[in-house]
Structure 1
Amino acid sequence: MVETGHVTVIRQMTYQPVGRVAAAVEMMTFGRLRGLSDGGTQRADFHVLAVVDAGRGAVTVDFLRHPLRERSAVWVAPGAVHRWDDIADVAGHVVLFVPTAPVTHATRQLAATPDLAAHWNIPDGDWPFVDTARNHLLLEASAPPADTSTELPEILLSALIARLRPPHAEARSANPAFRLFRSSVETHFREHHDAGYYARALGYAPRTLSRAVQQATGRTAKTYIVDRIALEAKRLLAHDRLTAAGCAGALGFPDASNFSVFFLNATGMRPGAWQSAVAVP
């Protein structure tokens, strides 16, 4: 894990395993993470999956703060901005992996989920299985490079993901209409902001699609789209330090004024005010 660029607020990170050519999975302790982290906000092009053994702290993922405690898990998707706020007393391990690392169909689907869960607590009954899967991956990842099959860490990563049973795994059983909608929104939200477009493109009646989204998320299709655009706008404002005009161009709004009205309605703040509020002094 190395820095490849600097911006005013958030560092862009790219995946580069230390000492393992072409390795798709890397592990580190929270102790090592503390040595690498300066408390700043980061945005990575790889997955960050953490298992907490003991201690208390906090992590902020996409501007939402989550408490860390014993037997909890964190999953930061590529593109999400995150900051380890307080990990001085946290013990456990962090797994870094590229999006293509999981080898089973189910775990690849979980890794590709656009709105995956950032934090959850691991049930007591699941902990022995999670702990064993994590330790097996740790052992394999620590083997000398000459003795390591590049496939084994990926296989064991998939086992760990499966045993962690992240909350967004339940979305795999959601209405097929919602799954198609979610995937289509992730692909086209920069160009298409209208729920009607997705209904037409997917071949569903607007009411059918809206009902499917409501059942899966508790939100209307329109609200889901608005939330996704607003999240990307926050990332652009914080990470790329774009102006309202820059965000408008990147997110398919006709001009800065239209984007500013959208952002104000979606977040309760004007883009410039929000950008100033999240800036690190």
Structure 2
Amino acid sequence: MVDSGHSLIERIAYSPRSGREYEVEASPISAMRAALDPTRFRAPQRVEFHLLLVVASGASTHMLDFTEHELGPRTVLWARPGQVQRWGDLSDLDATAVIFPAGVVDPATDALASVEQPSGPRFWRLDDAAWADVSALVSVLRTSHEAVGGCIRSEARRAASRHALEALLLRLAGTTTTQPVSAGSEAYLAFRDAVERDFAVEHNVAGYASRLGYSVRTLSRATRTATGASPKEVVDQRILLEAKRLLAHTELPVARVGASLGFSDPSNFTAWFTTRERLSPAAFRASL
């Protein structure tokens, strides 16, 4: 097996407290800073869970897949599993970190809020009405997360926090102008998940269609309806994103980056990357 090199970007695993698996965690950023080694916040990280940063006051920046977001009062940032992030200075930030694993919300919420969509909405500046709703729901999540012992049974606490999370995600979705993926687009959702899992070993749309039991035409129609792009464009965009992550955040040689993404010939990878990015891999790395 080819070493993907992904481990060179620190992976932050989902690690809830014992007995609280698949619950929603909500706690102040200040508590997270106090509990962790400060060096954990300096290097790029690849999170393996959903992370919502809900900012009440203060200012900072947060890099998420090459976009630097300005955090301030009434802003919300959403990092999804697999995305690469880098923290800014957190000393002045009053914010809540809401953490939850993939698959915890129901399919309808997933579709309406683009929960498991890697390219889904990721940043909001909220008006007064939206902030009042969002902050109230975050307060419910924090209260539920802090409830330990006999006052609330674990099953009830888990259900309450999940429903509050779904309400929060749907409220954020209500402030977004982009169209969510159709709940009925099963072919596209299956294709999306397969690409996320196999993009480094399968580059051909026909290969995905065969594995998933759909025709290429069906995948093309479903993908264009959901994203406006062709299936091949979706595959290529995912490979390109990972190539850029590895070039930017690791010191892997260009040939190793290409090999980790399924290119056995370094020159083929360089030509493929240059066609899509208008820069060679080496030039892209040097431009950062």
Q: TM-score, normalised by structure 2?
A: 0.75
Alignment match of 2:139 (pick from 132, 135, 141) = 135
Displacement of 1:34: 5.0
Residues 1-281 of structure 1 correspond to what in structure 2 (within 5 A)? 10-17=9-16, 20-24=17-21, 25-35=24-34, 36=36, 37=38, 38-100=41-103, 102=104, 104-107=106-109, 111-122=115-126, 124-145=128-149, 147=151, 149-151=153-155, 152-153=157-158, 155-165=160-170, 166=173, 170-173=180-183, 175-199=185-209, 202-206=213-217, 209-239=219-249, 241-278=251-288
Report the CA distance shift for 1:147/1:236 in structure 2 as closer, same or farther (over 3 A): farther
CA distance in structure 1 between the partners assigned to 2:213 and 2:71 by the alignment: 39
CA distance in structure 2 between the partners assigned to 1:149 and 1:240 by the alignment: 45
CA root-mean-square deviation: 3.2
Aligned residues of 2:25 and 2:142 also touching (Cα < 8 A): no
Which is worse superposed, 144-153 or 215-224?
Answer: 144-153
Displacement of 1:94: 0.4
Displacement of 1:194: 2.8
Q: TM-score, normalised by structure 1?
A: 0.77
Which is worse superposed, 54-63 or 144-153?
Answer: 144-153
1:203 partner letter: Y
CA distance in structure 2 between the partners assigned to 1:212 and 1:103 by the alignment: 23
Which deviations, in whole Å up to 9, do the C-alpha atoms of 1:194-214 show, x marking residues without a partner? 3344455553454x6445433
SS of the residue corresponding to residue 88 of structure 2 reads strand
Displacement of 1:146: 5.7
2:79 partner letter: V
Which deviations, in whole Å up to 9, do the C-alpha atoms of 1:169-193 show, x marking residues without a partner? 8224474443343233223322222
Report the CA distance shift for 1:16/1:196 in structure 2 as closer, same or farther (over 3 A): closer
Aligned pairs, number: 267
Which deviations, in whole Å up to 9, do the C-alpha atoms of 1:209-233 show, x marking residues without a partner? 4454334323333222211011122
CA distance in structure 2 between the partners assigned to 1:130 and 1:68 by the alignment: 16
Displacement of 1:66: 2.2
SS of the residue corresponding to residue 65 of structure 1 reads strand
Higher RCO by CA contacts (8 Å cutoff, separation 6 or greater): 2
SS of the residue corresponding to residue 86 of structure 2 reads strand
SS of the residue corresponding to residue 171 of structure 1 reads coil
Which deviations, in whole Å up to 9, do the C-alpha atoms of 1:28-71 show, x marking residues without a partner? 32334455554332222222122122334321111222232333
Consecutive unaligned residues in structure 2, runs of 5 or more? 1-6
Which deviations, in whole Å up to 9, do the C-alpha atoms of 1:121-164 show, x marking residues without a partner? 44544433322221111112123456554441464144223333
Aligned residues of 1:126 and 1:164 also touching (Cα < 8 A): no
CA distance in structure 1 between the partners assigned to 2:120 and 2:62 by the alignment: 16
SS of the residue corresponding to residue 170 of structure 1 reads coil
CA distance in structure 2 between the partners assigned to 1:89 and 1:75 by the alignment: 20
Consecutive unaligned residues in structure 1, runs of 5 or more? 1-6
2:14 partner letter: Y
Identity of aligned residues (%): 33
CA distance in structure 2 between the partners assigned to 1:273 and 1:69 by the alignment: 34
Aligned residues of 2:79 and 2:122 also touching (Cα < 8 A): yes
2:168 partner letter: R
Which is worse superposed, 224-233 or 159-168?
Answer: 159-168
Report the CA distance shift for 1:211/1:257 in structure 2 as closer, same or farther (over 3 A): same
